Structure 1
Amino acid sequence: MSAGVAFWGSYFVSNSQVGAVPVEISVLLGRSVLPMAQLLRMGRGAVIPLDAHEHDEVWILANNHPVARGEIQIFEEKISIVVTRPANVYDFMAIGN
């Protein structure tokens, strides 16, 4: 098999084909557990407290799977995330337990 080609089931898949697959990236700032009654009473201006602090690392998710940790950065009024290290899936699963 040549470089840049992978065997997947009964198909040969090239790196260019895999590279074209869209991946949704999301960032998890923190979590909160609230009673449903409190959630239903919330309206505009309600504040949801999170289990995170200002300088904590955030979780970077690819298709809802943890892939890295990062830090929030604001540059020219745009929010971005700087990747700091790979994700430890076991740490992610332990959140909230």
Structure 2
Amino acid sequence: MDDAAKAAKVDRSSPFTAVPIEITISVGRARPLIRDLLAMGKDAVLPLDRRVDDPVELYVGDRLIARGELEELDGDQKGQLAVRLTEVADIQAGV
């Protein structure tokens, strides 16, 4: 099913479709030793387990709902970060 068909399937008459949710975007994780973390100060660099071109993960709570690529918006929103979705979980089917 393509994205347009999925969007058409959403029951927009339900009052729950107007409730905002918070989506967390994960760009990577770090696992420093506590002694290294305590030694960090301003301008310290904390390496992540991902590369710049790797996909980011989108979560609602602890549930992975999508993956995407970071990009910068243009026009009036120039400089603002956004995520272009590249893979979306089938939330209604629980997959």
TM-score by structure 2 length? 0.69
Task: Name the count of aligned residue pairs.
Answer: 74
Question: Which 5+ residue runs of structure 1 have no aligned equivalent?
Answer: 5-13, 88-97
Partner of 2:63: 65
| Identity between Structure 1 and Structure 2 (%) | 34
AA of the residue aligned to 1:29: V
TM-fit CA distance, 1:54: 1.4
Which one has a bigger Cα radius of gyration? Answer: 1
* Separation of aligned partners in 2, 1:21 and 1:63: 15
TM-score between both structures, scaled by the size of structure 1: 0.68
Query: What pairs up with 1:24-63 in 2 under 5 angstroms?
Result: 24-63=22-61
Displaced runs of 4 or more, over 4 A: none
What is the Cα-based RMSD across aligned positions, in Å?
1.6
Could you report, residue by residue, the CA deviation over 1:46-93 in whole angstroms, capped at 9, with x for unpaired residues? 111011111110001112321000000112111100111025xxxxxx
Distance 2:62 2:23 in 1: 8
1:26 touches 1:64 (CA, 8 Å); kept in 2? Answer: no
Judging by fraction of residues, say which structure has more strand: 1
1:15 lines up with 2:17 in the alignment: no
